[in-house]
Structure 1
Amino acid sequence: NLALADNQMNSDVALSVADHLIARGLDLMIEYQLDENMGSVIMDKFKRANIPVIAVDIPMVGATYFGVDNFRAGHMAGIALGEWIAAHWNGEAQAVIVLEEPRSGALTAARIQGQLYGLREVIGDAAFANTLYLDSGNTRDVSEGQVSDALHQLSGLEKIAVVCFNDDAAIGALNAARRANRQEHVVIVGQGADRRLREELRKPGSRIVGSTAFLPEQYGARLLALAQKILRGEPVPPAVYTDHVFINAENVALYYPE
């Protein structure tokens, strides 16, 4: 039997959900929640109940990790962003905006680190003298507000690179640039390659270069296979990564036909 529960992306609700599911006598838990600090509290509850845990995308100490290879996913996007800047802006960016998600912890921060590392590999260090780190709030609307303020702060600049924690942040950044009539001043990469971002990539001249796909459509089958191995007592690695590919305007139709 498979029991489902919604933590509503809220730490307190996630804790309550854990208590409820433990009381039901689970054999194994597949957990996705954003708050790294609350993850330790939740994981302690499952350990005391002797219930194995698979942590999806956000690691929990003591759980088997399944999900994004964060540095690699970020690095792919950073390289692609740098190559676009090299081809269209003569290798020069005047500023870098970073839309991050501080709640998610060090491992997911590697997604941002990978993007910055890849970008620096291609265009060098000059642009990083003017770097703004902003909290994406993990939502499109918060990201849009943050980037709107940043564009006002960077009003004299016309070559701004934007790296993002996820696609919601990327779409929010694009919306902010459009609202300010400064689309041509930004170039953006995302993480996840979700449906909304893929729709944007299909538009001619989009200011989003692309996004590293996490292929969530493969998560279900792979998570269940991993869970069955754990329940059978078979050895599993401490981390199982999903596959990644960088999706852009040239290959989006190949990987995601309309």
Structure 2
Amino acid sequence: MKKILSMVLITVMTMCLFTGCTQKINYTSKATKKIKIGISMANFNNKYGSYLLNEMKNYSKSLNDVEVVFADAKLNSNTQLSQVENFISQGVDAIVVNPVYTDSSKPITDKAKAANIPIISMMVPFANENDAACHIAPDSKQAGKLEMEYLAKKMNFKGNVAIIMGPIEDSAQRLRTEAYHEVIAKYPDMKLIGAQTAEWDRARGMALMETWLESGKEIDAVASNNDEMAIGALKAIEAAGKLDKISVGGIDATPDALDYLKSGKLAVTSFQDATKLSKYSIDTAVKVAKGENVDKIIIVQNELVTPEDADKYMAKWKNKK
């Protein structure tokens, strides 16, 4: 009888031991498994995009249970599609994409949907946002309105306006430019005399402004879709000796632009909070990876930045370093 009881006891202890070990292994596995997120940016070399990228990298480093993989599409939609396919093959838990162009983004959402991996659009919407878990972006229409209303007031609501646009296919360009048109239309004594793209680029903004000045166009204000093109325009205007005659506005409030703002060369810009945008993007990706519900659209409001505000916003950038 004692022998039988001993055998039963040994069997029970053995079962408990293995059961306990199995539970411990499962628990440890879940606790140490990191959530993996793939992020494809349209262009690492875009000035504002580079600040946004740095903010995302810095924030991701503070998350112990999250691994973030970054990829540069280099303004090529096919490259971006390949990057998303690579993320899928790596078994990421969620994907964040800053689309090169909206119009060429449908294959990206199709791939993510087929793989049953949640995908988020950042800055630029997908062609098929219904297949995305969320869209995160600054309010481009608001940014354009803030800039153009300030320029209009500085012009005393009369004079000629030229618009420097971002890429024609870009949704932010469309919304900002649309806002300019709406503001200009409000004031009978203001006139739009030219609108052309400089592809978000400083050198192209400078070249375009030089062409306008050489043509003899009378320009009282330049509304630029971003700070980089605005700085390019300012370089051409300064070389022509017309800084006191033409007001220039931009969008982003980058450190370079704030230097121009403080010096009085740039009239106005608006602040797009890269810290908020990066944090919202990664936090939302983590939530959808966990199966949590998130808002379908997250829009970050911009802040008007005038020369008097330059030091305040310079401090914001310094605090991020």
Q: Which residue of 1 aligns with 2:180?
A: 115
Structure 2 residue identity aligned to 1:245: E
Q: Which residue of 2 aligns with 1:94?
A: 160
Once the two structures are superposed, what CA deviation does each residue of 1:49-73 show, in whole Å capped at 9, x if it has no partner? 2221111110012322101111111
Q: Which residue of 2 aligns with 1:239?
A: 297
Corresponding position: 1:211 with 2:269: yes
Q: Which residue of 1 aligns with 2:189?
A: 126
Alignment of 1:173-184 (within 5 A): 173-184=233-244
Where 1:5 maps in the other structure, the secondary structure is: strand
Q: Distance in 1 between matches of 2:257 and 2:73?
A: 25
Alignment of 1:223-234 (within 5 A): 223-234=281-292
**What percent identity do the matched residue pairs reach?**
20
Q: Distance in 1 between matches of 2:297 and 2:286?
A: 16
Q: Distance in 2 between matches of 1:56 and 1:85?
A: 35
Structure with greater Cα Rg: 2
Shift of 1:108: 4.2
Structure 1 residue identity aligned to 2:98: Y
- In the alignment, structure 1 segments of 5+ residues that lack a partner are none
Q: How many residues align?
A: 246
Corresponding position: 1:78 with 2:148: yes
Q: 1:224 to 1:187 in 2, by over 3 A?
A: same
TM-score in terms of structure 1 length: 0.87
Q: Which residue of 1 aligns with 2:114?
A: 48
Where 1:241 maps in the other structure, the secondary structure is: strand
Paired residues of 1:93 and 1:127 also in contact (CA < 8 A): yes
Q: Distance in 2 between matches of 1:240 and 1:26?
A: 23
Paired residues of 1:98 and 1:131 also in contact (CA < 8 A): no
CA RMSD of aligned residues (A): 2.0
Shift of 1:235: 2.6
Structure 1 residue identity aligned to 2:86: H
Q: Distance in 2 between matches of 1:181 and 1:41?
A: 49
Q: Distance in 1 between matches of 2:267 and 2:228?
A: 15
Where 1:162 maps in the other structure, the secondary structure is: strand
* Segments of 4+ moved more than 4 angstroms: none
Shift of 1:233: 2.7
Q: 1:231 to 1:240 in 2, by over 3 A?
A: same
Q: Which residue of 2 aligns with 1:152?
A: 214
* More divergent stretch after superposition (43-52 vs 74-83): 43-52
